Amino acid sequence: QVQIQQWGAGLLKPSETLSLTCTVFGGSFSGYSWSWIRQPPGKGLEWIGEIHHSGNTNYNPSLESRVTISADTSKEQFSLKVTSVTAADTALYYCAREDGGFSDWGRGTLVTVSS
Amino acid sequence: QSVLTQAPSASATPGQSVTISCSGSSSNIGSNYVYWYQQLPGTAPKLLIYRNNYRPSGVPDRFSGSKSGTSASLAISGLRSEDEADYYCAAWDDSLSGRVFGGGTKLTVL
């Protein structure tokens, strides 16, 4: 059973960089794609981007200029960075494993951007 | 504005059936698999249907998915109070080279 633990700073000021990391437990890191998804308060889900086991990445075009997703396979971790955050980036951020759908999710990290 | 379109709400009484629809285009639903997620209040989404109509282990057969052209549907039969949740459809979009979600449908079990 895969478990995903996520962490990162929950309160940021405008223009700062959001940084979150997920660690995968259960020995199932290689061979899968890993995504970041966010959900603004009271709103729906928005896919941010993904990193494949090959290291290739795909990003949501609306966020691509500010987003970087990376992975450290030796630590079975993957990370998200979003630069120049604004209040519009306030959301619950989830990481998830893609295995024919997002089959396993982290519990979410609430990130609030406020001056 | 979501790429995939869902009605914002639906409702039915216990024991009844309900269908939640998801409308897209040729670049997403029309040419790729559709996935459905259930999000109970205060929890992370859960995969309900994958590759249009397959259920992960543990998902009751009361839940079923279908796809036709550029639209997809999630049907829930024998509604229970615990089915009250937000439901999201998702697919890969070839034009955007990325994954897209519907805006979500809030199901109320009256």
B72-85 pLDDT per residue, tens: 999 999 999 999 99
Best probe of the B interface among A45, A64, A95, A97, by most B CBs < 10 A, is A45
Token pair recorded at residue A39: 């959900």
Query: CA distances (Å), A62 to each of A10, A43, A48, B35, in order?
Result: 22, 17, 9, 22
pLDDT at A30: 86
Q: pLDDT per residue over A89-104, tens digit each?
A: 999 999 999 988 999 9
Per the CB < 8 Å rule, is B45 touching A35? Answer: no
Residue of B50, B51, B104 lying closest to A44 (CB–CB): B104
For B97, which residue in chain A has the nearest alpha carbon? A58
What share of chain B has pLDDT > 90, as a percent? Answer: 99
- Per the model's pLDDT, the better-predicted residue between A88 and A30 turns out to be A88
Residues of A in contact with B99 (CB under 8 A): 35, 47, 50
Number of Cβ atoms within 10 Å of the Cβ of B3? 21
- Per the model's pLDDT, the better-predicted residue between A27 and A87 turns out to be A87
What backbone phi and psi angles, to 5 degrees, belong to B80?
-125, 160
A101 contacts chain B (CB < 8 A): yes
A45 contacts chain B (CB < 8 A): yes
Tens of each residue's pLDDT in chain B, 110 residues: 899 999 999 999 999 999 999 999 999 999 999 999 999 999 999 999 999 999 999 999 999 999 999 999 999 999 999 999 999 999 999 999 999 999 999 999 99
What share of chain A has pLDDT > 70, as a percent? Answer: 99
